[in-house]
Structures are given as C-alpha cells and as structure tokens.
C-alpha cells in the first residue's frame, strides 16, 4: 500500500470521486467567500455581513507551547480563522457544478479550536480543573453547507451546524439546521434586508435554527493546543433536494426528516451550481479556528 | 511547479488609527510580498512587516517602513520570515485612508 492508498483508506467515497483535497499542495480551490459587488468592481457595494470572511490559510498547526503539531495526513491543514470579534465568521468555499443528480457525499477529517489565551484570561463558562479548560467554551460553532441551484433556477442550501456554545457562551454541543434559506445579495439589492457586520450570514435570526439528534461531545482534548482529528461524513440527495445522513465518528444521524428550504424565487446564472462551504463562527470574541486535514467529495452519478 | 497564493488581508478598510492585520500563516512559502493599495488617502500611513513564532506575540522583521500618503499602490518583498506574517500600520494624526492589503506567498 503506497501513501496515496493510505490517505484514501480513511474515507468511504461513493462511486465517483469529484475532489480529494489534501493541503500539502495549495488550497485546492477552497477559497474565501465574498458577497457580490457592482459592475464597477466597487467592493463597498458588498453587503457588510459578507465582506470579511477571511482568506483560508495553509497551517502546520503550530502553537505557543509545543511548536508544530502537524496534521493527520501530512504537513499542512486548511485553516479557517475568525477575527477576535464576537459573531465574526470565517469561510472556505469550493465551487463545482453537477453533471447529474443523485447522492452526493462530503467527507472530512477536521478539528476545531479556540485560540489559546496567554498571559490573561478570556471570559468563559468553563473553569480549569486540570481536565476541562476555559477554551472549551470559547469556541462558537462550525457549519458545513451547500449552495445548489438547478432545474430552472431552483436554489437551496443543505446546512449542518455544530453549535458548541450559544451566543451567551454556554455549552450546548448541538447539531442544528436553519428553517429559512440564506439571505442573498439580491435580497439586499431588492431592499428585503440589510444585515450588520458579523451577522450570521447562513441564517441571521437565532430563532430560525432548530436542533436535530442528541447533544454530542467532541474530543476537544483539554487544552487549546492539542488537536484530535474527527471524521465527518454527510450525504445529501440533489435529485430530491434533501438531506440523507450525517456521521460524526461513531454517531450516525438520520437526516431524512431535516428539511432543506428552497428559495421562493428563481435564480439566474447558477445552472447546475454545486458549492460546498465550511465556516466557523466565534461567539466569544476569541479567534476560532477550523482545521481541515483533508476533504473528499464523491457522487453517485 | 512552484505554488503561489494571494490572501486579501484587508478589503476596502477605512483606517483612522493604528492597526495590525490578522495573523496569517505562510509556513510553506520561501518568499512573500505585501501590496498596499490606497483607494483613498488623506495623510500618511506607514507600514512595517511583523513576524511571530506563535501567532500571538509579534516583533518587527526589519527596520524598513513603507509609506503611502496618496491613492496608489506600494509593495515590498518579505524574506527570512518564520510561520506567521502580518503588517502593522501607523496612521499619522488626522489621516484617513481606505486600503486593500494583499499578501502573496510563493514556495
């Protein structure tokens, strides 16, 4: 077995692999999401809540206490990093199109962390007791989502979010989904909303989010500078525009009843759109990080 | 083939006081280059490259300052850095500017 076989052996792809991204060689098309802008390229016309999602980085996962941690598969992980601003979101998006319809699977080995605080204490709802650590409650949420549009402009987002804490910094550890589609730049141009900087772009009203499955404890491993890689597998069906199943390590969650709200109006220029994004949002004002060791996207068409 | 990567660290950001860009990791790059594009500028801005061993604690890379006081583009190369890079900006009293800041890595 050569090293490429080893890398693939930790995944369970469907019959056709569209992307297998490890991050020892560039960002593989995972780029920053930015809101839309006018014909003059005036970035002042980008929505305030979609203008600062931060550029992804290739990280060797190094820390103040132990130096270079490294990744699961090699030297570098894709790192999404928020600003130290409560509510700020960082994104990485990958843009594809669909050559068919059917089952789509995205898998990743990932880790999430709040930035270490050194020489000071940041507010936390968890005390240090030698096992648990305040940084545990300084991580807000990470999200995996799609942006899909086809069949005459019907557009929708499959969305899963792991909410580690609520906006008050209390541990929740819940899987969530929104019951409304994401506000778009066209909605803004049409005067339907205007959201402030650091609004939750996926669904800005906390009341539009619902939980599914049971609370799930992750392996955050005590302090902010230990990284344990988690396996995530998420299946959706683009033929039925629905969710199918989510797996996080040994927890398998049936998502067939988790709705995927489509936009009421049709969208142009997006025929066969198949985008995926990862995002990370801080609820604490401490920088939050999402590290992706590797990502595999496969389909059944 | 070599790899290159461009990050937009600030995008049409209006600056009126001193600031530093967010920490950016370029552990794979052997060389880098900052670009500062002043879309608007009324007064002087001075930029210095900073490095860090951990993304938390920072010091200047060298003694060079890079100044812009009118709309336009300036750039400078960066070498001999470690894992993290950022740029610190000093804003002259009363100055205001709108800037884009790019960091390009190559390795």
Residues of A with CB under 8 A from a CB of B: 25-27, 32, 34, 43-44, 46, 51-52, 54-55, 57-60, 62-64, 75-76, 79, 81, 83, 115-116, 118
Query: What is this model's ipTM?
Result: 0.96
Percent of chain A surpassing pLDDT 70: 98
Token couple for A262: 């489509």
CA–CA separation, A104 vs A238, rounded Å?
A: 7
Instruction: Name the one residue in this structure whose structure tokens are 């999402």.
Output: A290
The two beta strands, B66-68 and B45-52, are: antiparallel
Q: Where are the alpha helices (DSSP H) in B1-107?
A: none
- List, in sequence order, the alpha helices (H) in chain A: 3-9, 185-189
- C-beta of residue A102 within 8 angstroms of C-beta of residue A300: yes
Specify the pLDDT at position A187: 86
Question: What confidence tens digit (pLDDT) does each residue in A77-91 have?
Answer: 999 999 999 999 999
Check CB contact under 8 Å for B28 and A27.
no
pLDDT tens string A186-196: 888 898 889 99
Cβ contacts of residue A163 below 8 Å, gap of 6+?
Answer: A140, A141, A172, A173, A174, A175, A176, A209
A-chain residues near B22 (CB < 8 A) = 54, 81, 83
Out of B11, B22, B83, whose CB is closest to A62?
B83
pLDDT at A49 over 90: yes
- End-to-end distance of chain A based on CA atoms, in angstroms? 28
- The whole-angstrom separation of Cα B38 and Cα B59 is 25
pLDDT at A101: 97
Supply the pLDDT for residue B1. 87
Chain B contact set for A285 (CB, 8 A): none
**pTM exceeds 0.90, yes or no:** yes
Average pLDDT, chain A: 96
What is the tens place of the pLDDT at every residue in A153-165? 999 999 999 999 9
The pLDDT of residue A185 is: 87
Angstrom CA distances, A177 to A93, A211, B91, stand at: 18, 6, 44
């Amino acid at each position: 077995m050569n090293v490429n076989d080893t890398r693939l052996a930790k995944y369970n792809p469907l019959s056709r692999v569209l992307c297998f991204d490890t991050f020892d060689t560039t960002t593989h098309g995972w780029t920053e999401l930015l809101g839309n802008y006018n014909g003059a390229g005036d970035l002042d016309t980008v929505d305030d809540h979609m203008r600062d999602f931060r550029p992804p980085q290739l990280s060797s996962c190094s820390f103040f206490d132990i130096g270079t941690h490294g990744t699961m598969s090699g030297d570098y992980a894709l790192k999404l990093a928020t600003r130290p601003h409560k509510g700020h979101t960082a994104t990485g998006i990958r843009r594809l199109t669909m050559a068919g319809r059917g089952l789509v699977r995205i898998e990743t080995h990932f880790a999430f962390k709040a930035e270490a605080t050194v020489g000071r204490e940041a507010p936390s709802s968890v005390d240090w007791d030698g096992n648990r650590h305040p940084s545990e409650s300084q991580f807000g949420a990470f999200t995996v989502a799609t942006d899909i549009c086809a069949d005459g402009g019907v557009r929708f987002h499959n969305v899963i979010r792991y909410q580690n804490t609520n906006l008050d910094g209390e541990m929740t550890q819940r899987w969530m989904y929104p019951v409304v589609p994401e506000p778009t730049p066209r909605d803004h141009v049409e005067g339907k909303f205007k959201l402030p900087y650091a609004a939750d772009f996926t669904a800005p009203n906390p009341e539009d989010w619902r939980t599914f499955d049971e609370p799930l404890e992750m392996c955050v491993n005590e302090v902010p500078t230990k990284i344990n890689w988690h396996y995530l597998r998420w299946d959706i069906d683009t033929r039925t525009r629905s969710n199918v199943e989510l797996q996080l390590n040994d927890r398998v969650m049936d998502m067939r009843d988790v709705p995927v709200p489509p936009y009421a109006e049709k969208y142009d220029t997006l025929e066969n759109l198949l985008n995926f994004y990862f995002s990370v949002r801080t609820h604490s004002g401490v920088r939050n990080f999402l590290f992706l060791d590797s990502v595999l996207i496969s389909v059944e068409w | 083939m070599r790899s290159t990567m461009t990050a937009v660290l600030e995008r049409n950001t209006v600056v009126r006081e001193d600031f530093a860009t967010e920490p950016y990791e370029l552990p794979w790059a052997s060389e880098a280059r900052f670009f500062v594009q002043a879309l608007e500028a009324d007064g002087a801005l001075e930029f210095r490259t900073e490095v860090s061993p951990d993304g938390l604690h920072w010091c200047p890379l060298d003694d060079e300052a890079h100044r812009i006081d009118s709309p336009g583009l300036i750039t400078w190369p960066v070498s001999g850095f470690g894992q993290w890079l950022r740029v610190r900006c000093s804003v002259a009293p009363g100055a205001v500017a709108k800037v884009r800041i790019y960091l390009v890595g190559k390795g």
